Amino acid sequence: MMTVLTERAPAKVNLTLRVIGRRADGYHELDSLVAFTGTGDWLRLIPGAGLSLVVDGPTAPQAGDGEDNLVLRATRALQARHHGLKTGAFQLTKLLPVAAGIGGGSSDAAAALRLLARVNGIAPDNPVLQDAARATGSDVPVCLHPRARRMSGAGERIGPALDLPPLFAVLINPRVAVSTADIFKTLALPKGETISGVAHTPVRAGLSRGELASLLADTGNDLEDPALRHAPIIAEVLSLLRAAACCRLARMSGSGATVFGLFDSREDASRAARMMHHHRPAWWIKPVVLR
Ligand SMILES: C[C@@](CO)(OP(=O)(O)O)[C@H](O)COP(=O)(O)OP(=O)(O)OC[C@H]1O[C@@H](n2ccc(N)nc2=O)[C@H](O)[C@@H]1O
Ligand SMILES: Nc1ncnc2c1ncn2[C@@H]1O[C@H](COP(=O)(O)OP(=O)(O)O)[C@@H](O)[C@H]1O
Sorting pLDDT into bands at 50, 70 and 90, what band is 196? confident
Binding-site residues, in ranges, read 97-107
- Asked if pLDDT for residue 1 goes beyond 80, the answer is no
CA distance linking residue 194 with residue 189, whole number of Å: 9
Q: Residues 159, 204, 139, 5: is their CA dihedral positive or negative? A: positive
- Over range 91-97, report the average pLDDT: 98
Write down the pLDDT at residue 199. 72
Domain boundary among 126, 158, 190: 158
- Confirm if 283 and 231 have CB atoms less than 8 A apart: no
pLDDT of residue 7: 98
CB 97 within 8 A of CB 284: yes
**Per-residue pLDDT averaged across 76-86, rounded?**
97
Q: Are residues 18 and 154 in the same domain?
A: yes
| pLDDT band for position 6 (cuts 50, 70, 90) | very high
- Ligand nearest to C-alpha 41: 2
Q: If you measure from the C-alpha of residue 254 to the centroid of ligand 1, how many angstroms do you get, rounded to a whole number?
A: 8
Distance (Å, whole) CA 170 – CA 270: 8
Interface confidence (ipTM) of the complex: 0.98
Residues lining ligand 1, Cβ inside 6 A:
14, 26-28, 30, 32, 101-103, 106, 137-139, 154-155, 180-181, 184, 254-255
Query: What pLDDT score was predicted for residue 280?
Result: 97
For ligand 2, atom 8, the nearest C-alpha belongs to 69
**Domain endpoint, select from 102, 136, 158:** 158
Residues 149 and 210 in one domain: no
The reply to whether 266 and 133 lie within a common domain is no
Question: Which of the listed residues 7, 14, 75, 98 should we mutate to test ligand 2's pocket, taking the one with most ligand atoms within 8 A of CB?
Answer: 98
Indicate which CATH number applies to the domain containing 186. 3.30.70.890
**Among residues 141, 158, 175, which one ends one of the domains?**
158
Please identify, by atom number, the ligand 2 atom nearest to the C-alpha of residue 103.
21
* 134 and 243 both lie in a single domain: no
- Distance of CA 219 from the midpoint of ligand 1 (Å): 19
Residue 89 belongs to domain with CATH number: 3.30.230.10
Hey, which of 36, 70, 91 would you mutate to test ligand 2's pocket, going by the most ligand atoms within 8 Å of its Cβ? 70
For the CA atoms of 106, 145, 18, 99, the dihedral, rounded to the nearest 10 degrees, stands at 20
**Residues 153 and 178 occupy one common structural domain:** no
CA dist 35 → 82, 128, 129, 276 (Å): 29, 23, 20, 23
Please tell me whether residues 11 and 150 are part of one structural domain. yes
Same structural domain, 238 and 216 = yes
121 and 15, same domain (yes or no): yes
Q: How far is CA 241 from CA 85, 114, 209, 210, 260, in A?
A: 46, 35, 21, 21, 8
User: Is the Cβ–Cβ distance between 173 and 58 less than 8 Å?
Assistant: no
Q: Mean pLDDT, to the nearest integer, of 252-259?
A: 97
pLDDT of residue 200: 75
Q: What is the pLDDT averaged over residues 159-179?
A: 96
- Ligand 2 atom index nearest CA of 71: 1
Range of the domain at 284: 167-290
The residue whose CA is least distant from atom 37 of ligand 1 is 181
> Could you tell me whether strands 249-252 and 167-173 are parallel, antiparallel, or unpaired per DSSP bridges?
unpaired
Q: Which residues are part of the catalytic machinery?
A: 12, 139
242 CA distance to ligand 2 middle (Å): 28
105 and 234 part of one domain: no
pLDDT band (50, 70, 90) for residue 205: confident
**pLDDT score at 2:** 83
128 confidence band (pLDDT: 50, 70, 90): very high
Residue 123 in contact with residue 117, Cβ under 8 Å? Answer: yes
Q: Residues 26, 117: one domain? A: yes
Give the residue, by CA position, lying nearest to ligand 2 atom 7. Answer: 105
Whether the per-residue pLDDT at 172 is higher than 90: the answer is yes
Domain count, the chain: 2
User: Per DSSP, what are the bridge partners of residue 95?
Assistant: none
